[in-house]
Amino acid sequence: MVAQEYSQFSEIVAQCLEAHIRRVPPWMKLPAFYLLDAISKNVFDPYARQFAPMVSQLFLDSYREVDHSTRSKMEEMLLTWRNGGANGKELFGVVPQVAIERGVWGGGPTQSN
């Protein structure tokens, strides 16, 4: 996987992908999130660590911009992040996961798998 071969550039990759997601129109955001998802799950370290500080705000900002169908797909992806990280833990950590889920589903209990 190319991301693994160039993992020493993970910070730059994360910055570029964040900038891309923020820049593209709403209908183009989901494929970029799928890329972020795949890179983070397949090369957890260092990529998930690089995406963790910005993934909450990026996800929620994008979620507000996209249509209902895309929101549903983003929610499905978000659920996989609950245990997509190392040892079945949250892909980007507990704090980002909870922040996103509260932003999407409200402050009460989150949806279950």
Q: What is the CATH number of the domain that holds 42?
A: 1.25.40.90
The residue assigned the tokens 């992908």 is 17
Range of the structural domain that residue 35 is part of: 2-105
pTM comes to 0.91
Predicted confidence (pLDDT) per residue in 10-53, tens digit: 999 999 999 999 999 999 999 999 999 999 999 999 999 999 99
DSSP H or E segment with residue 62:
helix 44-65
Distance of CA 61 to the CA centre of its chain: 12
Contacts of residue 95, defined as CB under 8 A and 6 or more positions apart, other chains included, come to 56
Residue 25 lies in a domain: yes
Mean pLDDT of 87-95: 96
**pLDDT, position 4:** 86
Number of domains in the chain: 1
